[in-house]
Chain A
Amino acid sequence: MKDDGRPLFVQIAEEIASAVVDGTYPEETQVPSSNELAAFHRINPATAAKGLNQLVSEGVLYKRRGIGMFVAEGARTRLLERRREDFARQYIAPLVIEARKIGIDPEQLKKMIDVWGDDR
């Protein structure tokens, strides 16, 4: 797993969450068990379980006793919304700050985004 200082269980949770967002795990499908995740990533099963439980407490997954963990209804929508907020905090805020430092105000910034956005 990545050595970026984030707890392993957080990385596990984010990986599953990303898979929910990009449609790999549609709602009401089963996600890998903690033992499977542990074996695959070569980490302690307790850590993998903690990651899954984190998603349960966030309402992304729910547990079916004796079967496993399943993607909750509306999980994708909730995750996308949270990701939008994170995106703003992580990218937009520093972008505006950085732009201001070199003399670009938000209006100019919007024009730049349009230009760069068209090129794609």
Chain B
Amino acid sequence: MSATVAAMHGVTKRYSDVTALDDVTFALQENRIHGLLGRNGAGKTTAMQILTAQNVATSGAAEIFGERPYENARVLARTCFIRESLKYPDDYKARHVLTAASHVYPHWDRAFADRLVEEFALPVDRACKKLSRGQHSVVGVIIGLASRAPLTFFDEPYLGLDAVARQMFYDHLLADFAENPRTVVLSTHLIDEVSDLIEHVVLIDKGRVLIDEEAEALRGRAITVTGPVESVERFARGHVELHREQLGGFLRVTLSGVQPASAEPNLQFEPVSLQQLVVRTTQQNSGARLEKEVLS
């Protein structure tokens, strides 16, 4: 079990009218790719901002590299936080931004950055305020990748990128991660695209942690059972139900912690992808459920 590089202990963040994070606790091990999943506004960005000292918790403690991050140059120097909403100085050209970042990170890989600029076709001499949304995201992606910061956060940095560019980002991330291991935290709602990349999943919804598990354990955790209403109900009894849909005499139920039973001829079993699992879990959380434990 590798060491913890970042952790939140009972962190709550309250604004005057809303609670962004509610008693959030999780730990991230080093040199793994972590997925911070959740809907827009769930609290993922707030969590990452608190971990990188851009924001301060109302209560609870956050730590990176074993220390409190606030105004702590020693640990913050090892982090990089790329988010889509980050604005670069308007009149800076794209290459100014990259050069500036290169001054900050001692492990900056100039050759890697140049290669990425070429592959993503970034117009380096264009002023940042004139960059398209996709190009703006590319700048962030290049900084995040070339920085080689031991703890790198990507907060949906690829929202402006098309599917091809996103795939390039994932490929480069994987390749660089394999050669130069570091801790990567990827926050996204495009779960299908990253489900094979991430090793550890933390799902946040409405400021609470719903899932905090290994990605592998979640694959195959849930199944969908379809068939005649009675047979399905019989099979589903006693198991944790995440979702149900009914059409006439047919019922489809998503169950957690169950294995398909080959002895049941009427029933059709389908695996549930990570994305579907996350969606169902989140939907269930929105319903008026009192239990805190959603998955058994």
Residues of A within 8 A of B (CB): 1, 3-9, 34-35, 38-39, 41-47, 94
Contacts and interface: CB of A to CB of B under 8 A. Distances in A.
Nearest to A93: B262
A38 B174 contact: yes
A45 B177 contact: yes
Contacts of A9: 216
Interface of B: 32-33, 170-171, 174-175, 177-179, 196-199, 216, 219-220, 223, 262, 271-273
5 contacts: A3-B271, A8-B196, A8-B219, A39-B174, A45-B174
A3 B276 CA distance: 11
Given A1-B196, A5-B271, A5-B272, A42 B171 contact: yes
B196 A39 contact: no
A42 B216 contact: no
Nearest to A46: B199
A43 B215 CA distance: 12
Contact of A8 (B175, B179, B216, B272): B216
Contacts of A45: 174, 177-178
Contact of B175 (A6, A7, A39, A46): A39
Nearest to B263: A97
B33 A44 contact: yes
Given A43-B197, A44-B198, A35 B179 contact: yes
Contacts of B33: 44
Nearest to B273: A3
Nearest to B197: A44
B178 A35 contact: yes
Contacts of B197: 42-44
A44 B262 contact: no
Contact of B171 (A3, A34, A35, A39): A39
A47 B262 CA distance: 29
Contacts of B262: 94
Contact of A47 (B199, B272, B273): B199
Contacts of A43: 174, 196-197
Contacts of A4: 271
A31 B171 CA distance: 21
A28 B172 CA distance: 32
A1 to B, nearest CB: 6
A3 B271 CA distance: 7
Contacts of A6: 219-220
**Which one of A1, A5, A7, A38 has the highest number of Cβ atoms from chain B below 10 Å of its Cβ?**
A5
Nearest to A42: B196
A1 B174 CA distance: 15
3 closest A-B pairs by CB: A5-B271, A5-B220, A35-B178
Nearest to A36: B178
A10 to B, nearest CB: 9
A9 B215 CA distance: 11
A7 B197 CA distance: 13
Contacts of B198: 44
Contacts of A42: 170-171, 174, 196-197
